[in-house]
Amino acid sequence: MNRIVKFAAVAVVGLALGAGFAWFTRGQPPAPDPTGAPDAAGVGDPRPDFRHAALDGRFVEAADFDGGPVLINFWATWCAPCVREMPLLDAFAETHADRLAVVGIAIDEPGAVGPFVEELGVDYDILVGTTDVMTTQRRYGNTQGLLPYTVLVDADGTIAWQFLGEVKPEHLEREVVPRLGGAAGAAP
C-alpha cells in the first residue's frame, strides 16, 4: 500500500509540474530550419533543425548534437512498440555513449512523460512536445505520423538512416554501429 501511495504522489507532482511547464512553454514554435532542409527530409539530406523542451524545462536544439552522430527516436507513452524498444535504446546509448548521442522525443504531455521515463529508468535525453514534435517528426521524414520512428544523423549532420517501426537489436547492429566509427557523440 505504501508503494502505491508513493507512486500516486509522484504522479500527482509530475502532472502538476507538467501542467505548469506546458503553461509556461505554450506557443513556443520550433526554431526555423537554417539548413533549408526540405519539408520531409530523406536519407542523404541535411538534418532539419528542431527546438523542444527537455523534462527539466530547458530547451534543446538539433544543433546541440552537432559534431557527433545522434540517434533520434520519436515515441509516446501510449505506444506499446515504443515502450518495448526503450530499454534496448537505453542499453545501446550506454554501450556507445562515447560515440553516439541518443535522444527520445515524446509526442505527449510533460506531466505524463516525466514519471513514465523515471519508472522505466531511461537515462538518455528525453524531449517532449505535442504538435511541435509532430511537425519535427514529419520534417525528419515520417510523413505518415506513425510511431515509433527512429532516425540516425551522421556526425556531419546528414540523415543516414530512417526506420518506421519497433527497433530491434539487429537494426542497430546492421544500420547504426557501422556508421559510428571513432566519433564522439555530442550532447547538450
The predicted-structure confidence for 104-131, as pLDDT tens digits, reads as follows: 999 998 889 999 999 999 999 999 999 9
Domains of the chain plus CATH, in order, are 2-179 (3.40.30.10)
Closest by CA to 62, choosing from 130, 123, 131, 136, is 136
| Residue in the structure block whose three cell numbers are 509540474 | 17
Band (pLDDT 50/70/90 cuts) for residue 75 is very high
Using the predicted structure, report yes or no on whether residue 27 has a pLDDT greater than 80.
no
pTM value is 0.78
Does residue 115 have a cis peptide bond before it, meaning omega lies within 30 degrees of 0?
Answer: no
Q: Kindly report the backbone phi and psi dihedral angles of residue 92, in degrees, each rounded to the nearest multiple of 5, phi listed first.
A: -65, -40
Mean pLDDT (the chain) is: 84
Cα–Cα dist 50/139, whole Å: 9
